[in-house]
């Protein structure tokens, strides 16, 4: 048993990855291999989340659930319509038209909270912001350890003051959406070790470090720098148990993409992805409007994924994507745990 507050053999976390990559099979296999696994509740219906929790629990109760915290909608209709016009040609490739009206949603926050209160899990982690302290208290009272994902010392301080038990400190190299609470913020380059140090100076809570981890040496460095555990996402995207789409898998493994970049073009929130044609063509037009831009581009991305179109798909990837391998997740975790 590792020394952390998380009940797993190794101080390694299989990070939540919404949008398909995290599956019950991935979480179960990561847990069996000694990591602490998360389910990703983002974009899922409460029923689907319920079913995943039920299925994973047949093997273990040592897992977490990650929730997207809804923000205040702040969509400028004019700039949204302008962005929809700007990407119209991308839709034409599939005989589609973009919807110029912004769609909002709160990712069924209330229902998911109710589900986790009635049927608590070991850990609940929160991403994109903080709910009211009263809701954090409800999850804690239900018996869950509550973690907030933070990207700056200010977020770390605020999360501690709101009563969470621990922090996930996400560095700028992380794949997928930045967890930043301010989607307008520019995600500056930097190391996860630096983010960790800054969070440790701002908060006394236990810290899980995430972002850009490529190998066991990174895990050991972050542990030596004060992390209680280290989370990995991108390194698991090509594992056999991951639900990563074929188009995404092929792009990651192809060697054709030589860079990742933080972009808002796909969802209206900063996210790190392989730099493909869609990113390049629209980088100068991107707007901050999540989840409206996510809904705007959703069908286009679905079609692109199905058609094997790497040029228009959101190819989420952290800076360590070259080290992701096609293999059982147990092998990926064993490699990261070498020397622990």
Ligand X SMILES: Cc1cc2nc3c(=O)[nH]c(=O)nc-3n(C[C@H](O)[C@H](O)[C@H](O)COP(=O)(O)O)c2cc1C
With binding defined as CB under 6 A, does residue 66 bind ligand X? yes
Site for ligand X in 189-218 (CB under 6 A): 210-213
Exactly one of 30, 40, 196, 289 binds ligand X (CB under 6 A); that residue is: 40
Site for ligand X in 251-310 (CB under 6 A): none
Q: Helices (DSSP H) in 225-319: which residue ranges?
A: 246-254, 277-282, 292-307
Token pair recorded at residue 230: 């280290």
With binding defined as CB under 6 A, does residue 124 bind ligand X? no
With binding defined as CB under 6 A, does residue 245 bind ligand X? no
Exactly one of 11, 129, 131, 175 binds ligand X (CB under 6 A); that residue is: 175
Q: To the nearest whole angstrom, how small is the minimum distance from the Cβ of residue 170 to ligand X?
A: 5
Q: How many CB atoms lie within 10 A of CB 208?
A: 28
Asked whether the beta carbons of 146 and 140 are under 8 A apart, the reply is yes
Q: 39, 65, 64, 11: which is closest to 230 by C-alpha?
A: 11
Token pair recorded at residue 179: 């967890």
Asked whether the beta carbons of 149 and 131 are under 8 A apart, the reply is no
Q: Which is nearer to ligand X, 202 or 332 (CB)?
A: 332
Token pair recorded at residue 165: 């038990």
Judged by CB under 6 A, the stretch of 23-31, 152-160, 166-174, 305-313 that binds ligand X is: 166-174
Exactly one of 174, 198, 223, 265 binds ligand X (CB under 6 A); that residue is: 174
Asked whether the beta carbons of 75 and 101 are under 8 A apart, the reply is no
Q: Using alpha carbons, list the distances in angstroms from residue 286 to 73, 168, 271, 272, 282.
A: 17, 28, 12, 14, 6
Exactly one of 23, 234, 247, 276 binds ligand X (CB under 6 A); that residue is: 234
Exactly one of 87, 113, 150, 179 binds ligand X (CB under 6 A); that residue is: 179
Q: To the nearest whole angstrom, how small is the minimum distance from the Cβ of residue 15 to ligand X?
A: 3
Q: To the nearest whole angstrom, how small is the minimum distance from the Cβ of residue 135 to ligand X?
A: 17
Judged by CB under 6 A, the stretch of 261-269, 286-294, 295-303, 316-324 that binds ligand X is: 316-324
With binding defined as CB under 6 A, does residue 232 bind ligand X? yes
Asked whether the beta carbons of 21 and 237 are under 8 A apart, the reply is yes
CA distance 259 to 261: 7
Q: Which is nearer to ligand X, 84 or 148 (CB)?
A: 148
CA distance 28 to 30: 6
With binding defined as CB under 6 A, does residue 70 bind ligand X? no
CA distance 331 to 242: 13
Tell me the number of residues near ligand X by CB under 6 A. Answer: 29
Residues in touch with ligand X (CB under 6 A): 15-19, 21, 40, 42, 66, 127, 149, 170, 173-176, 179, 210-213, 231-235, 316, 318, 320
């Amino acid at each position: 048993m590792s020394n952390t507050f998380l009940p797993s053999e190794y101080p390694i976390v299989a990070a939540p990855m919404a949008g398909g990559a995290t599956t019950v099979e991935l979480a179960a296999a990561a847990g069996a291999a000694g990591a602490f696994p998360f389910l990703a509740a983002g974009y899922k219906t409460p029923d689907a989340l319920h079913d995943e929790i039920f299925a994973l629990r047949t093997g273990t109760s040592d897992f977490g659930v990650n929730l997207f915290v809804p923000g205040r909608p702040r969509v400028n209709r004019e700039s949204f319509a302008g962005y929809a016009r700007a990407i119209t040609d991308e839709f034409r490739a599939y005989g589609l038209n973009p919807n110029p009206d912004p769609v909002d949603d709160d990712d069924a926050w209330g229902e998911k909270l109710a589900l986790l209160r009635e049927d608590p899990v070991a850990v609940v982690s929160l991403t994109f912001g903080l709910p009211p302290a009263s809701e954090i208290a409800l999850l804690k009272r239900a018996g869950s350890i509550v973690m907030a994902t933070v990207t700056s010392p200010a977020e770390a301080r605020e999360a501690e003051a709101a009563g969470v038990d621990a922090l996930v400190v996400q560095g700028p190299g992380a794949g997928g959406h930045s967890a930043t609470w301010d989607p307008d913020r520019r995600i500056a380059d930097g190391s996860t070790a630096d983010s960790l140090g800054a969070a440790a100076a701002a908060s006394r809570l236990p810290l899980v470090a995430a972002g850009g981890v490529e190998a066991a040496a990174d895990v050991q460095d972050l542990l030596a720098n004060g992390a209680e555990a280290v989370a990995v996402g991108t390194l698991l995207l090509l594992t056999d148990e991951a639900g990563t789409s074929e188009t995404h898998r092929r792009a990651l493994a192809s060697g054709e993409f030589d860079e990742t970049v933080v972009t808002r073009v796909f969802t209206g929130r900063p996210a790190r992805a392989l730099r493909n044609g869609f990113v390049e063509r629209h980088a100068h037009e991107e707007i901050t409007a999540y989840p409206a831009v996510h809904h705007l581009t959703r069908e286009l991305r679905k079609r692109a994924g199905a058609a094997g179109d790497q040029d228009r798909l959101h190819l989420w990837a952290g800076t360590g994507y070259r080290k992701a391998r096609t293999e059982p997740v147990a092998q990926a975790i064993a490699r990261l745990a070498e020397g622990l």
